[in-house]
Every structure is written in structure tokens, then in C-alpha cells.
Amino acid sequence: MAARVQALIGVAGKAITYKRITHGRFSTSTLQSTPSVQSHTIKAGVRQYRVKEIAGLVRQGDREGRIAAADLSFRPKPNDQIVIGGQTFQVVSVNTRRPFDEDAIHIVQVRGGNG
């Protein structure tokens, strides 16, 4: 199943950059942790939400991305970032679908769009 999803998104998706954000060590001198960013260029199906879907947790301007699980070696998580067409979006939520007990696709809701 995961290979099929990867093949479909590979043909119909658009190139994006997925940025995995992790926090490094906490500095006692600055009282901050330094984030670490790993970038992955992959393909994803991206769409804007329809007007009737905008309510509650979905806001105007949010987008949905569908990422083949086989394209990432980890599960996406909130606060990671996705760059779509030069605009950076923040991952708000992740829904991983697991048919046959195998990660097949990550459906991510993103917000922002800041250059």
C-alpha cells in the first residue's frame, strides 16, 4: 500500500521542502535551546481547504498536504515546517493512515504561508 501511495503522489504531486524541527541542547547561559533543522525535498499533494471545511480547527488560508509515508523516515509532527512555492507553512496537525498496519500516508494541516 505504501509503495502505491508513493507512486501516485510521485506522479501527481508537487515538489515541497519538509523541514523537521528538533530542539537541541538547553543552554544555561542563554536559557534557550537551539533548534536543529533537517530539510527533505519530496513530492506532496497540496490543496486549499474549501469554504465549507473552514470551521473550528481549520482556518482560512490553511492547506492540506498529503505525503507518502515512504518518502520520510519519520512521522511528521506539529511545529515542523513545509515550504510550498517559496512560502513557509507551520504543521498544525498530522493524521497518519495505516492500512494493513503500515504507515501509508501522512495528511498534514499547515498554516501560515509567510515568505
Report whether 16 contacts 43 (CB < 8 A): yes
Mean residue pLDDT of the chain comes to 91
Does pLDDT of 3 surpass 80?
Answer: yes
Confidence of residue 86 (pLDDT cuts 50, 70, 90): very high
Looking at residue 35, its pLDDT comes to: 81
* pLDDT 10s digits, 32-76: 787 889 999 999 999 999 988 888 889 999 999 999 999 999 999
Report whether 5 contacts 104 (CB < 8 A): yes
Query: Residue 113 corresponds to which cell in the numbers above?
Result: 504561508
Helix, strand and coil content of the chain, in percent to the nearest 5, comes to 15, 55, 30
Looking at residue 15, its pLDDT comes to: 95
